[in-house]
Amino acid sequence: MRLTKYSLLALAFCLILISSEIFVEIRQHPVKGPKPDLQSIIKQHPQGWQAISGSSVVPSTQNNPYDLVVTQIYKRADGKAASIVMTWSYDGFHQAGHPQEVCYNSQGFTVSTPKNITLMVGGQNLDVVTFEGRYGDMIEQVIYWRVTGGIHDSALQDNIPMTQRFKEVPRILIGDIPNNLMVRVSTWRPATDPPSTVHIDYIKSYLQSLPPKTRHFLTGL
């Protein structure tokens, strides 16, 4: 039987429909491997910083949008404290770490305009998002970033080339959905006090103190 252009179009359309069904199934059931040991990673701390007893929390993930959530508060000798939070998900598309400025705003904070800044960590540039959230007479200064599929990703999306995004397409089609890690570091201060760099001091010391493999996992660098 000779195939006409109409039968070829119909065949192509059927193939597209079948591919779409397969793609949806893959997106809904991403390939899963072992979870990272975030609890051990967050417990590592640089010299001069000590964990505040009772500040480590691992919320139940039953009603949580992430597969893992860990947080810890560290204090240095002068009494200044920094809080670090990490979230991780198998599915870096549907369960990616939320833009933190949006989360803070929904919790009643008055949030400043977020900005991208670059921190020098061990001779490498770490792009992060920074903003301030005011709640009553206190201000929380925040920086955060995300790592999707092992690739560093600032949440404002300004530094991700389109070619880099397309590189993820083949992985998605074979079911290798990239995971997502979000790291947030912050510090509180009275609204009447000048801006602080405590959270930045902490994260620089923390990342520099980590083994290269762990630092790469947390930053994608």
Q: Which residues pair with 128 in a beta bridge?
A: 117
Q: Which residues pair with 146 in a beta bridge?
A: 153, 182
Residue type, 17: L
Residue type, 158: D
- How far is C-alpha 97 from the chain's CA centre? 5
Q: What's the rounded Cα separation, in Å, for the pair 161 and 163?
A: 5
Q: Which domain holds residue 151?
A: 33-219
Residues 110 and 130 in one domain: yes
Q: Is the pTM of this model over 0.85?
A: no
Residues 95 and 186 in one domain: yes
Q: What are phi and psi of 127, to 5 degrees?
A: -80, 125
Residues 2 and 96 in one domain: no
How many residues can be counted in the chain?
221
| Tokens encoding 45 | 């701390």
Contact 86, 181 (CB under 8 A): yes
Ordered per-residue pLDDT tens for the chain, 221 residues: 555 655 555 555 555 555 544 455 555 555 567 899 999 999 998 999 999 976 665 544 455 788 999 999 999 999 999 999 999 999 887 788 888 999 999 999 999 999 999 999 878 899 999 999 999 999 999 999 999 988 888 655 544 454 544 555 555 554 568 899 999 999 999 999 999 999 999 999 999 999 999 999 999 98
Residues 15 and 86 in one domain: no
